[in-house]
Chains A and B, each alone.
Chain A
Amino acid sequence: DAGVIQSPRHEVTEMGQEVTLRCKPISGHDYLFWYRQTMMRGLELLIYFNNNVPIDDSGMPEDRFSAKMPNASFSTLKIQPSEPRDSAVYFCASSFGSEQFFGPGTRLTVL
């Protein structure tokens, strides 16, 4: 199994631009999580899905952030418009039991 796949691995954009991060979970996993990691705030859960349905989005910082999971093998996290404070590493993780499998992350830099 290839594990959780995320793209792009690195993204540099300018303030105000739209950013879309992509995730392909491990086949058969029914939970998908989006996390943001920064030095200041550590690893924060943004949103998670169960069977493609958003369960808890209380960690989404504001309306500029949105996430979708149109099917069991694909999810997106969109930031529109992006701001410099959104710069972070964004991880996608999936699970079937309690163990979460993380993707390699997308390092986002907003100038």
Chain B
Amino acid sequence: GQQVMQIPQYQHVQEGEDFTTYCNSSTTLSNIQWYKQRPGGHPVFLIQLVKSGEVKKQKRLTFQFGEAKKNSSLHITATQTTDVGTYFCAGPNSGGYQKVTFGIGTKLQVIP
């Protein structure tokens, strides 16, 4: 079935450094979603990308969808301790448009 690969699985950065996580699919995605889960919390929706080559920004977060719609990235500029958590990408599953497959997630630690 549909698989969404995410790298890296873990990332430690100094506060103020940038951070990027990547998501790759073997098949073309109609859209991709990104979620954030704080330690001990639940996944919270961040954004959805739909168009080829789309770039969206939310303050220090920049989301990109590849031209071929098979990969995506999330970049955080100048990380802060509030960015700590696990970032998941999720792509639609062929089983149904509402069914998504989550990547394994990238766990971000920010060292103050």
Contacts and interface: CB of A to CB of B under 8 A. Distances in A.
A50 interface: yes
A55 B102 CA distance: 18
A99 interface: yes
29 contacts: A42-B104, A42-B105, A43-B43, A43-B88, A43-B102, A43-B105, A45-B100, A45-B102, A48-B96, A48-B98, A50-B98, A55-B96, A55-B99, A56-B99, A91-B42, A91-B43, A93-B43, A95-B98, A98-B31, A98-B33, A98-B48, A98-B97, A99-B33, A99-B45, A99-B48, A100-B43, A100-B100, A103-B42, A104-B41
The size bracket of the interface on B is 20 to 34
A102 B98 contact: no
B68 to A, nearest CB: 21
A37 to B, nearest CB: 9
Contacts, number: 46
Interface of A: 31, 42-43, 45, 48, 50, 55-56, 58, 91, 93, 95, 98-105
A31 B33 contact: no
B111 interface: no
Contacts of B100: 45, 100
B95 interface: yes
Given A42-B105, A43-B88, A43-B102, A101 B45 contact: yes
Interface string B32-46: 010000000111110
